[in-house]
């Protein structure tokens, strides 16, 4: 069986690819056969990052493909050639995102602490649920945020009113994390301990959630 995780959002520039890369690297480090599907063929963010990674000869390596359609993603899932498939979705495209969220075991929606982003995130999740995606298959993660505990607690309080799983912790917006990705590394491969550990905590939370969901099947 191929486990599948999608990363989606209601808008662009919200660290979907950042989270997707880190989860892919985490599993690849554990010798899982990983496929990362970049479904935003207009931007190709994941594919471009992987080129930098390969050029720098960073390990572990894993397959990264530009996938133009959900059908292509489904073929790879059905083939069961991979232990884990990750779908890095385009900025919210209702039909394809709904199809991917229904197809995958878990869909992670990243957000910041701002009310604008929180409202957009909840609206995105609600839209997916209205389209038939079970609420338990959705999780919200804080990423690319200010390092402010009071803002974090306030954001958690806002999301506590929703039925969605909230991943514990947050990934701060730090130049060290951006520079790591510029060089083809993921945020869990950042050389600086403090931001890396923040990132590792959130990524482990995503891994824990997918393990909870797939162990129930």
Burial (CB < 10 A; 0-12, 13-18, 19+), residue 147, is middle
Beta strand pairing call for 3-7 and 34-38: unpaired
Average pLDDT over residues 37-54: 90
Residue 209: pLDDT band by 50, 70, 90 thresholds? very high
pLDDT of residue 9: 86
| pLDDT tens string 61-106 | 999 999 989 999 999 999 999 999 999 998 765 678 999 999 999 9
| pLDDT tens string 167-195 | 999 999 999 999 999 999 999 999 999 99
Range list of β-strands (E), 53-187 = 63-66, 84-88, 106-111, 138-145, 165-172
pLDDT of residue 23: 98
pLDDT of residue 216: 65
pLDDT of residue 179: 97
| pLDDT tens string 16-27 | 999 999 999 999
pLDDT of residue 95: 79
More confident of the two residues 96 and 212: 212
pLDDT of residue 94: 67
Return the minimum-mean-pLDDT range out of 40-44, 102-106, 159-163.
40-44
**Inter-residue long-range contacts of 188-192, CB under 8 Å, 24+ positions, other chains counted:** 188/22, 188/25, 188/26, 189/25, 189/58
Average pLDDT over residues 105-129: 95
| Token pair of 78 as six digits | 């059905």
DSSP, collapsed to helix, strand or coil, labels residue 84 as strand
| pLDDT tens string 136-148 | 999 999 999 999 9
Q: What pTM was computed for the model?
A: 0.95
Strand arrangement of the beta sheet that strand 3-7 belongs to: 63-66, 34-38, 84-88, 3-7, 106-111, 138-145, 165-172
More confident of the two residues 183 and 9: 183
Average pLDDT over residues 117-134: 94
Q: CB of 107 within 8 A of CB of 6?
A: yes
Give the total residue count for the chain: 217
Q: CB of 100 within 8 A of CB of 7?
A: no
Q: What would you report as the CA-atom Rg of the chain, rounded to the nearest whole angstrom?
A: 16
Contacts of 22 (CB under 8 A, 6+ apart): 186, 187, 188, 199, 203
Indicate the average pLDDT of the chain: 94
Q: CB of 205 within 8 A of CB of 167?
A: yes
Average pLDDT over residues 46-51: 95
pLDDT of residue 41: 76
Place of tokens 């690849």: 28
């Amino acid at each position: 069986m191929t486990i599948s995780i999608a990363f989606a959002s209601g808008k662009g520039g919200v660290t979907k690819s950042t989270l997707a890369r880190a989860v892919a690297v985490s599993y690849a480090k554990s010798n899982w056969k990983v496929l990362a599907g970049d479904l935003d063929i207009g931007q190709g963010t994941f594919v471009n990052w992987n080129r930098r990674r390969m050029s720098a000869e960073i390990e572990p390596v894993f397959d990264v493909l530009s996938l133009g359609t959900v059908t292509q993603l489904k073929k790879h899932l059905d083939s069961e050639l991979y232990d884990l498939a990750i779908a890095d979705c385009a900025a919210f495209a209702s039909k394809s995102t709904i199809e991917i969220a229904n197809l995958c075991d878990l869909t992670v929606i990243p957000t910041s602490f701002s009310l604008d982003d929180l409202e957009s995130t909840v609206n995105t999740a609600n839209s997916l649920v209205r389209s038939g995606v079970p609420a338990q298959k959705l999780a919200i993660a804080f990423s690319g945020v200010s390092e402010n505990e009071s803002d974090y607690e306030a954001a958690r309080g806002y999301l506590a009113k929703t039925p969605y799983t909230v991943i514990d912790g947050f990934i701060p917006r730090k130049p060290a994390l951006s520079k790591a990705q510029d060089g083809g590394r993921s945020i869990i491969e950042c050389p600086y301990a403090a931001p890396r550990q923040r990132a590792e905590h959130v990524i482990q939370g995503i891994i824990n959630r997918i393990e909870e969901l797939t162990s129930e099947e």
